[in-house]
Amino acid sequence: MLIDGTAFEEGLADVNGTRLHYVTGGSGTPLLLLPGWPRTWWQFHKVLPRLARRYRVIAVDLRGMGDSAKPVGGYDKQTMARDVHELLTALGHRAALVAGDDIGAMVAHAFAAHHPEAARKVVLCEGVHPGPYVDAMPLVPRPGGPSSWWFALHQPDGLPEQLLAGRYRLVIEHVTRQLARFPEAIDAESLDRYAAAYEQPGAARAAAGWYRTVREDMAQAARFPAIRMPVLALASAGNAAAVAGALAATVPDARHHEVADTGHYVAEENPDGYADALISFFG
């Protein structure tokens, strides 16, 4: 496929008892890009051509996402990190740069903790691995700030997938308006792609699985070893303080960078700012 004139290849790999879909291109040091909810690998389409001029980029649909398989379980972030590590190995690489956004940041954080030999440097954008901060997240909106209602929405077993099956575009459009500073940056093609992905059979159940494992994730995080490779936390102005506070307990030496002119969807709203931050940090 061509993205803005640059060639990329799609692939499928059987890893860790599931199947992952990925898009790859470019040459150089491998760079894993891990997307978030309610997105797919496509959230990186604006930055892939530029990054591919410097790195061998590998944009991954995580377990349950996009064109990857949607198994019944395995949605704790340690297992999802193992998926990605086995994918990296299957593609012939021993180590990579890793950048994750939102849910992908949770997986990247777990990757750094459990596969330190395979993570050269790590970027966590607009998210960190679940920890004690989860219990302080507002579920009811506060004046001047949003709530994290989707964490609660996905908890009841079996209910969200029944309510959202075939209607996921409503959720995608709502959170885009709520969390993006420039919603117009997410065009109709992107919304169509995301809606089609999350309205596949099993997709709503899989997305709920990422959130239903939060307590299990928190228990795993309490046993994380020290993370010693360089870590950069990227955030929009509205989330910078929250990301810094959540990361302080597990990666106190992390560097922090606030990306201007963006909301939650940094790679889509300000692709130049996103790519500049990654290139500056990764080198």
Number of separate domains in the chain: 1
**pTM attached to this predicted model:** 0.96
Residue 196 lies in a domain: no
CB 51 within 8 A of CB 278: yes
Domain range for residue 17?
Answer: 2-134+217-282
Residue 267 lies in a domain: yes
Average the pLDDT over each of 18-27, 99-108, 237-246 and give the range with the smallest value.
237-246
Residue 269 lies in a domain: yes
Residue 257 lies in a domain: yes
Residue 152's Cβ-side half-sphere holds a number of Cα atoms within 13 Å equal to 9
CB 22 within 8 A of CB 61: yes
Residue 207 lies in a domain: no
Q: What is the pLDDT of residues 136-185, one digit of tens each?
A: 888 887 776 678 899 999 999 899 999 998 899 999 999 999 999 999 99
CB 239 within 8 A of CB 247: no
For residue 138, what pLDDT is reported? 82
Residue 182 lies in a domain: no
The DSSP result for 104-126, as a single string, is: HHHHHHHHHHH-GGGEEEEEEES
Residue appearing with tokens 């790679």: 267
Residue 232 lies in a domain: yes
For residue 119, how many other CB atoms are within 10 A of its CB? 25
Tell me which amino acid residue 150 is: W
Residue 191 lies in a domain: no
CATH number at residue 57: 3.40.50.1820
